């Protein structure tokens, strides 16, 4: 098996050496060279053609975002960003994911992190995941003004089904095998859950969409959510594997691009149609049924599930307990198989139709593969058809 060839880019000589040592500790990875700024990174990518690039955001001469944008245009290569745990760092990281970075790792204590070894395992995992993305890099999706169409027009389009459409939305479950084991993943947080200042008054909710994604998810979410019309007739609850401090920036960025409202979920919030709620990093997100058929969010910090908090399985299992609600479950790009057990539970206990991203558009075909192999996929479609498929199913 060929080793994964990596180019390490950081303006700190210390960080370049430590990151190199971490990556060299894995027998499947080889650091082929190091660069001290974005411009040097571009030159070495042209010369060496690495499989993966690690790229710091804050650098002189040419920063990481400018280098990333040029890489994606001139020499597309899987990139893992290294970012800081500041508000500015979070915003820059979300922008990097939008520009085409596969994933990111946070430096524990700023630009020069003497304790970078704390995230060694995560860095190696992300580099290996990025290597799988070679050849599947996508250009940033267009702005919402060029993608959103009225719901009525969307429903008139022909949708290509890979499996027969159920007779009624949310009914019918195919035969399925037992889901596989959950793969260990990310970490915890230890911050206070966002609390709703006052519940938003809303009528009973009879339709619900739940969505899970991981590596490559932020960019995939932008593709799907910007294609939904403002009058989308259901709430959307989302688990994106991401550490604390980054999901709020992700929600704000998506909200600025989408016709629907996108927000970081708050504890005890009454959910409503036309809004997407993203689980905060470090917190599980659940949905419960309140009086009168209203649906309410619950955030908690119980143990990570399979290494993940938030966990797609936790969200999906909570949705399985809802009654008199038609449900649609979406699984998109990501490592591991988080979501397959939860979707299996939804299939056992109520009406649900699943939509799974096709391998051809996944950055990492882990979570979708697990669902397909478990026999839980009702519709397998490429990323740019998920929004259209969802709108057709809801009607």
List the alpha helices (DSSP H) in the chain.
13-24, 38-48, 64-74, 87-99, 120-132, 151-156, 217-225, 247-257, 312-320, 340-349, 367-373, 386-394
Element (H, E) at 52: strand 52-56
Choice among 11, 103, 326, 338 that is catalytic: 338
* Of 249, 278, 282, nearest in space to 92 by CA: 249
* Of 32, 28, 17, 111, nearest in space to 64 by CA: 111
49 is a catalytic site residue: no
CA distance 107 to 89: 10
* Contact between 192 and 300 (Cβ < 8 Å): no
338 is a catalytic site residue: yes
CA distance 330 to 239: 11
CA distance 149 to 361: 22
Choice among 113, 189, 214, 320 that is catalytic: 214
* Contact between 134 and 51 (Cβ < 8 Å): yes
* Count of all residues that appear for the chain in the document: 395
The owner of tokens 């009058």 is 231
241 is a catalytic site residue: yes
CA distance 43 to 65: 16
The owner of tokens 């915003």 is 91
| Residues with active-site annotation | 214, 241, 338
């Amino acid at each position: 098996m060929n080793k994964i060839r990596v180019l390490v880019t950081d303006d700190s000589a210390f960080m370049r050496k430590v990151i190199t040592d971490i990556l060299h500790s894995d027998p499947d990875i080889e650091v082929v060279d190091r660069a001290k700024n974005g411009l040097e990174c571009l030159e070495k990518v042209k010369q060496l053609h690495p499989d993966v690039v690690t790229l710091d955001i804050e650098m002189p001469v040419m920063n990481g975002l400018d280098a990333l944008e040029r890489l994606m245009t001139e020499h597309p290569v899987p990139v893992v960003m290294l970012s800081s745990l500041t508000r500015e760092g979070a915003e820059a990281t979300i922008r990097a994911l939008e520009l085409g970075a596969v994933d990111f790792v946070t430096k524990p204590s700023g630009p020069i992190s003497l304790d970078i070894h704390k995230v060694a395992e995560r860095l190696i995992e992300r580099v290996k995941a990025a290597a799988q993305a070679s050849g599947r890099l996508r250009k940033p999706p267009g702005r919402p003004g060029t993608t959103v169409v009225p719901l009525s027009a969307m429903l008139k389009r022909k949708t290509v089904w890979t499996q027969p459409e159920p007779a009624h939305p949310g009914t019918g479950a195919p035969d399925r095998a037992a889901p596989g084991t959950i793969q260990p993943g990310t970490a915890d947080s230890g911050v206070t859950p966002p609390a709703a200042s006052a519940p938003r008054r809303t009528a009973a909710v009879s339709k619900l969409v739940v969505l899970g994604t991981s590596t490559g998810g932020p960019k995939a979410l932008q593709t799907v959510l910007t294609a939904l019309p403002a009058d989308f007739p259901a709430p959307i609850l989302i688990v994106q594997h991401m550490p604390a401090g980054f999901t709020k920036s992700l929600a704000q960025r998506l909200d600025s691009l989408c016709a629907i409202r996108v927000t970081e979920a708050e504890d005890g919030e009454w959910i409503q149609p036309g809004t997407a709620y993203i689980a905060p990093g470090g917190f599980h997100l659940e949905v419960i049924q309140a009086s009168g058929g209203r649906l309410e969010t619950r955030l908690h910090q119980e143990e990570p599930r399979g290494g993940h908090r938030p966990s797609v399985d936790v969200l999906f299992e909570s949705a399985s307990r809802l009654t008199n609600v038609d449900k649609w479950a979406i699984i998109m790009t990501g490592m591991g198989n988080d979501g397959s057990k939860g979707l299996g539970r939804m299939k056992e206990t109520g009406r649900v139709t699943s939509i799974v991203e096709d391998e051809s558009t996944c950055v990492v075909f882990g979570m979708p593969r697990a669902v397909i192999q478990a026999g839980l996929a009702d519709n397998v479609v490429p990323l740019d058809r998920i929004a259209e498929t969802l709108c057709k199913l809801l009607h």
